[in-house]
């Protein structure tokens, strides 16, 4: 075993600090969700599942969970349905307009959610659409779309389209060439992009808050509890959402590579 160099020691310390800084709030949330005392300070006085029990029993939680799941699934379907073809299109568009279209589609990802939220609010008022879960889902799709396009474009960039030509020259029509050759190969990326969309939807708060009407999603429910004060039930619900979004994102990460 070689002795570590100065470079490795300094680098290792830095990496440990950054990872620790990123992990700290997550660990705190999970640890206090099991804390027997309702006070959110150390030392931990014992372990309990009461907060989970209380949170899960709450009928408001059930409604919010149902709304969140509906929003996540619909968001994933719509974002994939319009985002995947758009990613294919970027290859066929004229080189002059391609960066314009790509940039436009990615723009909602770097616009603050507050701006999206208030723009959608005035828009929905103007066209006379009442606020509801459906209008909140519009915002979720808008936020998920750039990530679907990013991950699909990354996949298609490394896709060997000569195999499609091979299939065509062997007599397969365009539809068959797509369904039998392209689709099976890119399916993991599509599933990955959809899981990523679900994770983004489950976690979305700001746009949802402005456009949801009376329909609470899990983050909106948590926001309501946060404003009321300290309550470990929040930690329990948060830990559950955390488990959901992290699982989705990790599977998505296995299936696709998001590159910026």
Partner 1 sequence: MYGPFAMNLTGSQRSVKRLALLQVAPAAVFWTAFFLIPLAILVRYSFFEAGFLTITPAFDLANYQEAVTNGLYREIIVRTIVIGLATATLVVVLAYAFSYVVTFVFPRRRELLFFLVMVALFSGYLVRIYAWRTILGEQGIVNSLLLSTGLVDEPLRFLIYSRVAVVITMTNILLPFAILPLYSAMQNVPREVIEAARSLGGSGLAVFRTVTFPMTMTGAKAAFAFAFVLTCGDYVTPTLVGGTNGIMIGNVIADQFGVSYNWPLGAALAITTMVAVLVVFAVVSRLMTVVAR
User: Please, which of residues 142-171 interact with partner 1 by CB under 8 A?
Assistant: 142, 145, 149
Least spacing, CB of residue 65 vs partner 1, in Å: 15
Residue nearer to partner 1 on the CB measure, 105 or 215: 105
Residues 80-119 interacting with partner 1 (rule: CB under 8 A) = 81-83, 85-86, 88-94, 101, 104-105, 107-108, 110-119
**Is 223 a binder of partner 1 (CB under 8 A)?**
yes
**Cα dihedral sign for 144, 138, 29, 22?**
positive
Using the minimum distance from each CB to partner 1, give the nearer residue, 82 or 172: 82
Tokens coding 233: 């039930």
SS3 47: strand
32 lies in the site for partner 1, by CB under 8 A: yes
Q: Which of 135, 157, 145 is nearest to 215 (CA)?
A: 135
Minimum CB–partner distance for residue 3 and partner 1 (Å): 15
Query: x/- string (CB under 8 A) for partner 1, residues 41-80?
Result: xx--------------------------------------
CB of 26 to partner 1, least distance (A): 5
Query: What are the angstrom distances between the C-alpha of 165 and each of 168, 183, 185?
Result: 5, 14, 15
* Torsion sign (Cα): 23, 61, 223, 53: negative
- Using CB under 8 A as the binding rule, whether residue 21 contacts partner 1 is answered as yes
**How many C-beta atoms lie closer than 10 Å to residue 238's C-beta?**
22
Q: Rounded to whole angstroms, what are the CA distances from 82 to 137, 148, 224, 227, 259?
A: 14, 9, 33, 37, 20
How far, in Å, CA of 214 to CA of 134, rounded? 11
Using CB under 8 A as the binding rule, whether residue 141 contacts partner 1 is answered as: yes
Question: Could you say whether residue 216 binds partner 1 (CB under 8 A)?
Answer: no
Q: Is 126 in the site for partner 1 (CB under 8 A)?
A: yes
């Amino acid at each position: 075993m070689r002795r570590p160099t100065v470079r490795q020691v300094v680098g290792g310390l830095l990496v440990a600090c950054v990872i620790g800084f990123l992990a700290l709030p997550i660990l705190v949330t999970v640890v206090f969700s099991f804390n027997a005392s309702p006070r959110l300070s150390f030392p931990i006085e014992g372990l309990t599942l009461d907060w989970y029990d209380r949170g899960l029993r709450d009928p408001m939680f059930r409604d919010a969970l149902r709304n969140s799941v509906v929003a996540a699934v619909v968001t994933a379907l719509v974002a994939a349905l319009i985002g995947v073809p758009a990613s294919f299109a970027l290859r066929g568009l004229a080189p002059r307009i391609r960066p314009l279209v790509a940039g436009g589609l990615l723009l909602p990802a770097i616009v603050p959610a507050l701006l999206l939220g208030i723009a959608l609010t005035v828009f929905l008022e103007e066209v006379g659409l009442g606020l509801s879960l459906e209008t909140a889902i519009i915002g979720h799709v808008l936020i998920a779309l750039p990530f679907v396009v990013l991950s699909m474009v990354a996949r298609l960039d490394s896709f060997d389209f000569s195999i499609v030509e091979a299939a065509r020259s062997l007599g397969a029509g365009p539809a068959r060439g797509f369904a039998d050759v392209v689709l099976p190969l890119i399916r993991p990326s599509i599933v990955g992009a959809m899981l990523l969309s679900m994770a983004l939807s489950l976690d979305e708060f700001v746009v949802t808050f402005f456009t949801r009407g009376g329909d609470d999603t899990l983050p909106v429910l948590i926001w309501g509890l946060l404003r009321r004060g300290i309550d470990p039930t929040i930690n329990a619900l948060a830990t559950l959402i955390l488990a959901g979004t992290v699982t989705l994102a990790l599977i998505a990460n296995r299936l696709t590579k998001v590159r910026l």
